[in-house]
Amino acid sequence: MSGPHRKLINDPDQLIEDLIEGMVSAHPELLCVEGDTGRAIVARHGARKGKVGIVVGGGSGHEPAFAGFVGQGLADAAPLGNVFASPSPSQIVDAGLSADGGSGVLFLYGNYTGDVMNFGMAEEALEQHEIVARSFVVTDDIASAPPERIAERRGIAGGFFVFKAAGAAADRGATFEEVVTAATHANDATRTMGVALSACILPQAGRANFELPSGEMEIGMGIHGEPGIERIPAESADEVVRRLLSPILDELALKAGDKVAVLVNGLGSTTLMELYIIFRRVSATLSDLGVTVYRNWVGEYCTSLDMEGASISVMRLDEFLTPLLDHPCQTPALSVGNTPLPEVETQRPVRRRKVAAAGETALKGDLVKSGEITPDLFLKMMRTGASAIFEARDHLCALDGQIGDGDHGITMEIGWKAVLSQLDEVYENVTITDMCNRIADAFLEAVGASAGPLYASGFLNAGKSVSDRLNLDQGALVQWLSGMSEGIARRGGAVVGDKTMLDAWEPAAKAAAKAAETGASCQECLVAAARAANEGAELTRNMKSRKGRSQKLGVRSVGHVDPGAVSAALLIQSWSTAVSTNRL
């Protein structure tokens, strides 16, 4: 077996910081970094008084998207998340503050669970700064849902056109609602289909996140390295174009005399030769239909790290969209117009009030002190859980690669490393609720993705449920586990059977409650919880996913366990072990 694939990177834990430093230093006339998080890439000539702020964003690994579209005439800022993971709310808030010109800020991003949750939380946070913010999700991917469920579709490379239209409308002085209308019109007029010839390789893992044998290809994959909706024998370029373009033509109902814009997008390792060969057939097919290609772009605009493959995006043009497409812009990845853009008086953010994090609760004399699980033991449980996640990182990534983007182990590792950093600062007399608040902050700040807000909500809710206690007895432990499960369910909107981490958390909480009713000890309650969590995780194998990225796979998700449920079971098992060894 060959070793890990080599990449030209330094410390994997500093990957995004190195990327940002390199990108900004390569384009100093266009970009800068604003905010406390260091993750908001901002246009030097973007935000200005009276202009609607445009923020585009998502995870890294899609370069030049999303920060490559930051610049005059397009986006004002882009928060950059970890590889294939949404930015955190605080990173998004930094971008929103930098983009604000007093007329509201519009967030534009792909329709992914983690992005929806994190950008939604950022909207709420910006309200504390008296800034109106709203999200617009791109849904151009035909493969991810049928037309009757178009709102469930993913946003992939076609976001290029939606960002361009919204950015141009804002730059032309449109009102907030007019900018939303421009984004809506562009999204409705855009369709995309893609094909993958290889899996991508996550920098931290060094291995492909799923197996794609030579001579086969995936139809309809997303932009996060996840498998597509169908695997078929490899075809010629012309046949691939026919397969991808046919549903696009059907849905857009193109006819003779129509005008379109076309994007042939490479996914990271596809040569420009291949992309031009693809465009050749796209252009000829449209010409045969009497459809004019008004503008086209061929190259890499929204990649999936180093995946081999391509996508085709088509936007049907009209009198409303054509001027927006033609509107001048200057960004690292896209320049429209041949003359230098006029200098604008950029408005730098002045409202830098940091939104307060969850504070420490004062240790009060009336806290309930009965119970086996003390703050010291709880701290040991959390550290034991972190170690279990670190050991299982590659296994969790492999599980995720079968139905997702292959980064779940890395995401959880990032989260628990941040947790350990927070817990290293725990002071004397800290309570379990205090530690839960710190853990929640760590997940929310470090992770992004869906796991960030889900675990943050779980720990906050769990800590709140035992805020009257110093130590946890059996009943309080049950309250804490139930609080975790309920917080996760409330934030994610999932139920048991959706093939998510909740399929482990909810059975665990119920099993602990049942054990406590029989007089079981805390350790025995955790043993019962761990057993139920493992059984719940295994039951996800035969479920069809109804939430998250794997939802788009439909029946192809059957036969694989949910990695989030597996990591939840690992945590609960490790906590049971920590309590057991503490009693020896």
Closest to 140 measured CA to CA, from 110, 177, 180, 96: 110
Q: What are phi and psi of 63, to 5 degrees?
A: -50, 135
Contact 220, 228 (CB under 8 A): yes
With tokens 């983690």, the residue in question is 114
State how far the Cα of 557 lies from the Cα of 404, in Å rounded to an integer. Answer: 9
Q: Which domains does the chain have, with CATH numbers?
A: 12-328 (3.40.50.10440), 375-582 (1.25.40.340)
Cα separation values, 320 from 55, 181, 313, Å: 22, 10, 19
Rounded CA-CA distance 584/582 in Å is 6
- The helix (run of H) or strand (run of E) holding residue 81 is strand 77-83
Three-state secondary-structure class, residue 451: helix
Pairing of β 309-316 and β 292-299: unpaired
How is residue 261 written in tokens?
């814009």
Name every residue whose Cβ is closer than 8 Å to that of residue 552 and which is 6 or more positions away in sequence: 143, 144, 145, 154, 222, 226, 229
pLDDT tens track for 8-43 = 889 888 999 999 999 999 999 999 999 999 999 999
User: Which residues in the chain come in under a pLDDT of 70?
Assistant: 1-5, 209, 339-365, 426-427, 548-553, 583-584
Tokens of 165: 């239209």
Tokens 């804002």 found at: 170
b/e per residue 539-571 (b: at least 16 CB within 10 A): bbeebebebbbbbbbeebbeebbbbbbbbbbbb
* pTM, two decimal places: 0.86
Active-site annotation holder among 27, 62, 185, 224:
224
Task: Identify whether 224 is a catalytic site residue.
Answer: yes
For 177-186, the CB contacts below 8 A with 24+ separation are 179/52, 179/54, 179/106, 180/106, 180/134, 180/136, 182/320, 182/324, 183/106, 183/108, 183/136, 184/136, 185/320, 185/321, 186/161, 186/162, 186/315, 186/321, 186/324
| Cα 540 to Cα 427: distance, rounded to the nearest angstrom | 40
Q: Which helix (H) or strand (E) holds 531?
A: helix 522-539
Alpha-carbon span 337 to 189, nearest angstrom: 23
Residue pLDDT, tens place only, 161-215:
999 999 999 999 999 999 999 999 999 999 999 999 998 888 877 777 677 888 9
Neighbours of 427 (CB within 10 A): 7
How much is the pLDDT for 365?
61
For residue 233, count other CB atoms closer than 10 A to its CB: 7
Q: Match 């012309």 to its residue by tokens.
A: 238
Exposure class string for 464-499: b at 16+ Cβ within 10 A, else e: bbbeebbbbbbbbbbbbbbbbbbbbbebbebebebb
Backbone angles phi, psi at 138, to 5 degrees: -85, 135
Q: What pLDDT was estimated at residue 583?
A: 63
Question: Rounded distance, CA 228 to CA 143, Å?
Answer: 8
Residue 14 in 3-state DSSP?
A: helix
| 53 in Cβ contact with 76 (< 8 Å) | yes
Q: What pLDDT does residue 342 have?
A: 65
Contact 137, 110 (CB under 8 A): yes
Helix, coil or strand: residue 332: coil
CA distance 412 to 199: 22
